[in-house]
Amino acid sequence: MAVSARIHMLLLLISLLSRLGLGRYIEVRNPSFPMLACRCLDMLATEGQFTFMTAQPQLACAAFLIGEPTEVISLELSDVNIDCSAGDFIKIFDGWVLKGEKFPSSQDHPLPLRQRYTDYCSSSAAGGAVLSSQNVAMVFFRIHSPDSGFTLTVKKQHNPMPCNIMSQSPEGSFTMVMPHHHWNCSFSIIYPVELQLTELSLGQHCIVLYCTILS
């Protein structure tokens, strides 16, 4: 199955599980900092250490990370055992890529597209944590050899003024405040819902947007 089709099926599963309140990425079952296994295609919304280890070649893998609207995500790689010279790679993307479309778009994101990618196989990116600009991030990886892998440490940080938001909830109310900044901002939802804009305030120094998601 093509990776785009697999990702589409994963997002449909995410939508169903979120409505049912199931799944490790919707509900934190262990309040401590857990060590969990990461799958070839995965959705992660909890803090923790996630280890991926190949039993066979995995050539098109991705982990989608999401936090609350007022969070940004810190990602750090460790215990990396891959062969960059053989075509293995691990890349972190500041945002999500879905069906060829990037979120946030190049028009909305504060960084140029090339600066949103962090390549582990690049010597300048082999260490240290990477911080997302919004509440979603993504890890692409390709590993050819069995018994190779890595550990990904995921932490959340508070973002007092979120600009670009991906909602993981099928319902709720959200407020976006953009004080005296010339920003392009966006609010995205990954499944069909009814969206109601309840209030829009265009003040001289501040823009306030209130919206409600109805399942």
Same domain, 27 and 115: yes
Task: Say yes or no: 150 and 53 in one domain.
Answer: yes
Which tokens belong to 58? 């995995």
Please, which residues bridge with residue 138 across strands?
Answer: 64, 93
Asked if residue 180 and residue 144 are part of one domain, the reply reads no
Q: Which residue has the tokens 């262990």?
A: 30
Q: Are residues 120 and 184 in the same domain?
A: no
> φ, ψ for residue 13 (rounded to 5)?
-65, -40
Helices (H), the chain: 3-20
pTM over 0.85: no
Q: Do 182 and 96 share a structural domain?
A: no
pLDDT (average), residues 60-78: 95
Tell me the residue ranges of DSSP E strands in 112-171.
117-119, 130-131, 136-143, 149-158, 164-167
Task: Kindly state whether residues 115 and 182 are assigned to the same domain.
Answer: no
Task: Tell me the average pLDDT across 205-214.
Answer: 52
Q: Are residues 117 and 194 in the same domain?
A: no
Segments forming the whole domain that contains residue 34: 3-158
84 phi/psi in degrees, rounded to 5: -60, -35
> What CATH number has the domain bearing residue 15?
2.60.120.290
Please count the structural domains in the chain.
2
Q: Same domain, yes or no, for 154 and 208?
A: no
Neighbours of 189 (CB within 10 A): 15
Is the peptide bond between 104 and the residue preceding it cis, with omega within 30 degrees of 0? yes
Q: Indicate if the pLDDT at residue 11 is higher than 80.
A: no
Residues 11, 54: one domain?
yes
**pLDDT classification of 211: cutoffs 50, 70, 90:** low
* Same domain, yes or no: 56 and 125: yes
Q: What is the mean pLDDT of the chain?
A: 80
Give the count of alpha carbons within 13 A of 56, CB side only: 0
**Do residue 107 and residue 26 come from a single domain?**
yes
The proportion of the chain whose per-residue pLDDT surpasses 90, expressed as a percent, equals 51
pLDDT at 213 over 60: no
Instruction: Give the model's confidence band at 183: pLDDT under 50 very low, under 70 low, under 90 confident, else very high.
Output: confident
